[in-house]
Structure 1
Amino acid sequence: MTSAPELTVVQVPVSDPRVQPLLRELGDEYTARYGRDAHGELARYPDEEFTAPYGGVLLLLLEDGAPVAGGAFRRYDATTAELKRIWTHSAHRRRGLARRIVAELEREAGARGYRRIRLTTGPRQPEARALYLATGYTPLFDTRADPETIGPLPFEKHLSAPAARTGKASDL
């Protein structure tokens, strides 16, 4: 039995060339599920919102430096971060990488002093909905309703206070 590859977590700016495969594949995925205007979702927020001190972009890299998963967070309010652009490369799915990147994003947001996480996913992304439910997010919608009748599906999660804090989001 072969062991799982060693992965490195790095924080990078949106302009890092390793982020481009993430955004390209994510845009293609959105287009396939929602139509040609879906690429606009990736341009909705300026890159600065995903930059310290309020936000960040994290990548999981293979030993050769290739990105296999990633995601970002931005300031939603003084105590809440919003997760965005969570992605796993299509060749590396079903290996728990999305769970890992969500956990890493939560850890980094918590280290910045955020106490709550918000996120939304689309009604045609059942894998994402299942991921957020499985990782402890509370749905802020009726889970019995047809997702197509709801639109974006909002979730939230309250974070535990870290043992050592590096700064409070409300002080930023």
Structure 2
Amino acid sequence: MPTYRIRAATTDDIDGARAVMLDTVYRDFGTGYVPRWHGDIIDPECFYLAPPRHTLLVAIDERDGAVAATAALDARGPAHPPNPRRLAERYPSGETAQLRRVYVRPEHRRRGLARRLVAELLEFAQADGGYRSVYLHANPDSPGAMDLWRSLGKVVCDERDGVLGGGTGIVHFEIPTA
């Protein structure tokens, strides 16, 4: 069984992290790269490594040094549009730690990596001291995502039914910080 080292990403990890992220949006989401949604994937240094209140974590497979999983946090709340206005108001930028890009390569799934990465992100948010809530949106087509997020938080908006926001299919969660 492989062992993993979880740590903050460095510039040396960017290509591996980007590959995990792009593979996920193509394979699991079926959307491929969409610039207005995925700009952070192309330039993770600018979005996650440079700003002091942001981070990108990687899980490194110690057998070969490859990036097996990613997870990021930033201070940008959900924007309206495309998200419902009430979510943008409830989770304002600067006060909201938004979890992003919690992605695990298929061959490394079911080993607790996503849960471990999220635990590290929550510690990062608590240490910051300026975040009052933790928010994320999830694509329900991502294998294992809904079970993970339901076990860690609560659904605050489910757009799969078409009633809110035009039925984008996204599920929004709040994760307790303590």
Instruction: Please say whether Structure 1 and Structure 2 have the same fold, judged by a TM-score greater than 0.5.
Output: yes
User: 2:23 & 2:16 partners in 1: Cα distance?
Assistant: 12
User: 2:48 & 2:33 partners in 1: Cα distance?
Assistant: 22
Amino acid in structure 2 at the alignment position of 1:132: W
Q: Is the 8 A contact 1:30 1:38 kept in 2?
A: no
Aligned mate of 1:147, from 157, 160, 167: 160
Aligned identity (percent) is 26
Amino acid in structure 2 at the alignment position of 1:108: F
Question: Which TM-score applies when normalising by structure 1?
Answer: 0.73
The equivalent of 2:139 in structure 1 is 122
TM-aligned CA deviation for residue 27 of structure 1: 2.3
User: 1:91 & 1:22 partners in 2: Cα distance?
Assistant: 12
The equivalent of 2:38 in structure 1 is 42
Q: State whether structure 2 residue 72 is matched by structure 1 residue 72.
A: yes
Q: Is the 8 A contact 2:29 2:141 kept in 1?
A: no
5+ long unaligned stretches in structure 2: 77-92
SS in 1 for 2:173: strand
Q: Is the 8 A contact 1:27 1:39 kept in 2?
A: no
Q: State whether structure 2 residue 5 is matched by structure 1 residue 8.
A: yes
Q: Alpha carbons of 1:119 and 1:49: their partners in 2 closer, same or farther (altered >3 Å)? A: same
SS in 1 for 2:68: strand
Deviations for 1:82-133, whole angstroms, at most 9, x for unmatched residues? 0111100111112221111111211222222234210001243362122111
TM-aligned CA deviation for residue 36 of structure 1: 4.8
Question: Which TM-score applies when normalising by structure 2?
Answer: 0.71
Q: Alpha carbons of 1:37 and 1:69: their partners in 2 closer, same or farther (altered >3 Å)? A: closer
Q: Alpha carbons of 1:138 and 1:154: their partners in 2 closer, same or farther (altered >3 Å)? A: same
5+ long unaligned stretches in structure 1: 161-172
For 1:1-172, list aligned pairs within 5 A: 4-13=1-10, 16-32=14-30, 35-36=31-32, 38=34, 40-43=36-39, 47=44, 48-51=46-49, 52-63=51-62, 64-76=64-76, 77-113=93-129, 114-125=131-142, 127-135=144-152, 137-141=153-157, 147-149=160-162, 150-151=167-168, 152-160=170-178
SS in 2 for 1:70: strand
